[in-house]
Chains A and B, each alone.
Chain A
């Protein structure tokens, strides 16, 4: 639990700082309110993204991940990931680098750029930061807004879904706001992003479209998720496949926590969402 200011390297990735900037703003505001030191990691690159890079070259993927981990290690032994894709990369890379021979080979490569990774970084999803490090009770003590009237559907996404405890923790954080959680049939269906590289028709029609059409049947006040790729896909899917009056606001978990803390949507930059969040804000007291 958080007893003193803790330091976490904040890995931003690509999508969030370049287009979903409201997520970056939200986590920074949350960090300030909770007394968490979220440290800038200077000189990082793409994690690298876990689908294409890894299949083009496993070695190249691992070297770039090791480089980013070596940068994180210089600032803190705790690395916070706000992107599910980055979390997938670093958790798998860090696991691979546990092997001495693999780590030694990675460091042989990093030596070319005067870097070294000593495998001391603890890779942490933002869900774990909020649930395990901050803790539910401490979060609740910071919640200034009441969300008892808010009904939330969640989309855990594939990266989180296969770690059941992360899904439970995500749900616990959302429940701590007072909001009620809805279950829906297509909840655990992939949003379709990985399929976009191979078969966009399938991804759009058999995944994204089916998902949002099922979502509208449960009429949530918002859809909560943690993955920026899922956010982008589902937002575009709603705009493409649903009528304007049926659009459901989509919010990242950290935005939801920030709103519950009383931070205004204007301060977070939520006017940049393509689907307006005003209907959700009407339900928050």
Chain B
């Protein structure tokens, strides 16, 4: 797949050379393992119900199938490799906790 012509808004944008900065590793790993960049923790599940929302949105937060599909379509890209490298060699999963 060829990279499409970029809007000249980001002329300095370029692929990141390995290794990934530590700050990025957790994001990539989260996406690959959970389908989202940040976890939906119990506190916010309860708060969602409290304010009248469903406990979990019908996304990868609720079901595992989207995660399996995501992994399948990125398995031959650097996203899968880097996510596995982060899991193997370090890089904590990113959690957002209430202040």
Contact = CB atoms under 8 A, between A and B. Distances in A.
A196 B73 contact: no
B13 to A, nearest CB: 7
B57 A12 contact: yes
Given A25-B53, A268-B51, A12 B59 contact: yes
A174 to B, nearest CB: 24
Contacts of B11: none
A272 B70 CA distance: 32
B37 interface: yes
Size bin of chain B's contact surface: 35 or more
Given A17-B40, A18-B44, A25-B52, A49 B79 contact: no
A interface SS class: helix
A18 B77 contact: no
Contacts of A95: 4, 7
Given A25-B53, A43-B65, A67-B70, A197 B38 contact: no
Contacts of A162: 9
Contact of A269 (B15, B21, B28, B51): B51
Given A64-B70, A106-B1, A24 B27 contact: no
List the 5 shortest-distance A-B pairs measured between CB atoms, nearest first. A60-B77, A269-B51, A96-B4, A45-B35, A60-B79
Interface of A: 12, 14-15, 17-19, 21-22, 24-25, 28, 40-46, 48-49, 52-53, 55-64, 67, 92, 95-96, 99, 101-102, 105-106, 109-110, 112-113, 115, 162, 196-198, 200, 239, 267-269, 272, 274
16 contacts: A17-B59, A40-B58, A41-B59, A43-B58, A45-B66, A45-B70, A46-B35, A49-B31, A56-B79, A57-B74, A62-B1, A63-B74, A102-B2, A113-B72, A113-B73, A267-B51
